[in-house]
Amino acid sequence: MEEITAAELHERLGEDGLRIVDIRGESSFARQHIPGSENVPFPELPNRIEQFDGAEQVVTVCPIGESSIQAARLIESYEGVDGDVASLAGGIEGWGFETDSGIERDTDEGPEAPF
């Protein structure tokens, strides 16, 4: 199992066969996530591991890059995964590039008045 830096992962965004698996909870994922990533919260990972059958490259993401190491090891140990498995060093906090969000904001105006 290896670690991948944010810069290395950023260069590879959009590559065929790359699966970015964010193991944080759904609400954290909705607030901010790496473009193209999918959310599989860590407690659900053992029950959903078959989703990675035949994956060429899997990169796991967590808040600071520690839990994702465990997730990467779990995925790597699954016999259906033939490709490389890595953990994002520094996690989402160390990403430093643009993220996607499920929360839409209008940046031209402030919040609406409550009355």
CATH number at residue 74: 3.40.250.10
Average confidence score pLDDT of the chain: 88
Q: Is residue 110 part of a domain?
A: no
Q: Is residue 103 part of a domain?
A: no
Q: Does residue 14 come out as left (phi exceeding 0), alpha (psi in the -120 to 50 range) or beta?
A: left
Q: Is residue 10 part of a domain?
A: yes
Q: Is residue 57 part of a domain?
A: yes
Q: How far apart are CA 95 and CA 88, in angstroms?
A: 8
Q: Is residue 105 part of a domain?
A: no
Q: Which of 34, 17, 18, 23 is nearest to 71 (CA)?
A: 23
Q: Is residue 102 part of a domain?
A: no
> What is the residue type of 3?
E
In this prediction, residue 114 has a pLDDT band, given cuts at 50, 70 and 90, of: low
Q: What is the pTM of this model?
A: 0.84
Tokens for 92, please give them.
């989402």
The pLDDT value recorded for residue 68 is 96
Say how many domains are in the chain. Answer: 1
Tell me which residue range forms the domain holding 18: 2-94
Tens of pLDDT, residue by residue over 38-82, are: 999 999 999 999 998 888 899 999 999 999 999 999 999 988 788
**Strand, helix or coil for residue 58:** strand
Q: Is residue 37 part of a domain?
A: yes
Q: Is residue 71 part of a domain?
A: yes
